[in-house]
C-alpha cells in the first residue's frame, strides 16, 4: 500500500489493518511504550504551534472510539485521551517517531496517513504528513482492528492541518 492510498469505508478496515501489520514487519517496527507503569499515557511536551493544534483536537475528540467509552486520562491533559479498559490511548504533540526515518510506508485511513509500529502489547499508529504528530496506541486485545483510527480521522483532519511537523 502506498502513501497515496485512502481507505474510505469501514468495510475496507480489515484490509487496512492487514496492510498496516505487513508494513510494520517490512518497516522494522519499534517495541517501546511511552506509558508509565500504571498504563497512563505520558503527557507530551509539544511545540507552541503543535500545542495549539492538539488543544483544538482535544475539543473535537469523539465520546467513543471502536465502541469504547472515553475515560479520563491521569494526569488530565489537553494532549492525551483514553477510551476503554485496557485503554486505547491518544497522545498529541509527540516527537517524530524514530521509525519515520527508515520507513516511507504509511497506511491511509479515511484521509489520514498513519505510520504503524508493532509493540509487545499491541500497536502504535502515528500520523505522518500533519503539522503535529498524533499517536494512537491500540492494545493487543483490540488488534488488528484499526477502527479507532477511523473514529479519530475526522477530528484529526479537522484540527491538525496537513504539512510537515
Per-domain residue ranges for the chain? 10-28+46-159
Instruction: Give the pLDDT mean for 14-19.
Output: 38
Please tell me the predicted confidence (pLDDT) of residue 17.
41
Over the chain, what is the mean pLDDT?
Answer: 80
Q: Distance between CA 122 and CA 118 in Å, rounded?
A: 6
Please count the CA atoms within 13 angstroms of the CA of 164 that sit on its side-chain side: 1
Please tell me the predicted confidence (pLDDT) of residue 14.
40
Q: Are 129 and 3 in contact (CB under 8 A)?
A: yes
Q: Distance between CA 155 and CA 142 in Å, rounded?
A: 21
pLDDT digits (tens, 9 = 90+) for 88-133: 999 999 999 988 888 778 889 999 999 999 999 999 999 999 999 9
User: Is 61 a residue whose pLDDT tops 60?
Assistant: yes
* Assessment of whether the complete model's pTM goes beyond 0.85: no
User: Is 2 a residue whose pLDDT tops 60?
Assistant: no
User: Is 29 a residue whose pLDDT tops 90?
Assistant: no
Count CB atoms within 10 A of the CB of residue 153. Answer: 18
Amino acid at each position: 500500500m502506498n502513501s497515496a492510498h485512502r481507505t474510505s469505508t469501514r468495510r475496507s478496515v480489515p484490509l487496512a489493518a492487514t496492510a498496516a501489520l505487513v508494513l510494520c514487519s517490512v518497516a522494522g517496527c519499534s517495541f517501546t511504550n511511552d506509558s508509565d507503569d500504571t498504563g497512563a499515557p505520558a503527557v507530551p511536551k509539544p511545540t507552541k504551534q503543535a500545542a495549539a493544534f492538539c488543544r483544538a483536537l482535544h475539543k473535537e475528540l469523539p465520546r467513543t472510539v471502536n465502541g469504547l467509552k472515553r475515560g479520563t486520562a491521569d494526569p488530565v491533559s489537553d494532549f492525551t485521551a483514553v477510551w476503554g479498559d485496557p485503554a486505547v490511548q491518544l497522545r498529541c504533540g509527540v516527537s517524530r517517531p524514530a521509525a519515520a526515518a527508515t520507513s516511507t510506508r504509511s497506511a491511509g485511513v479515511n484521509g489520514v496517513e498513519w505510520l504503524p509500529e508493532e509493540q509487545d502489547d499491541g500497536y502504535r499508529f502515528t500520523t505522518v504528513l500533519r503539522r503535529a504528530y498524533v499517536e494512537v496506541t491500540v492494545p493487543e486485545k483490540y488488534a488488528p482492528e484499526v477502527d479507532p483510527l477511523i473514529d479519530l480521522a475526522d477530528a484529526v483532519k479537522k484540527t491538525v492541518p496537513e504539512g510537515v511537523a
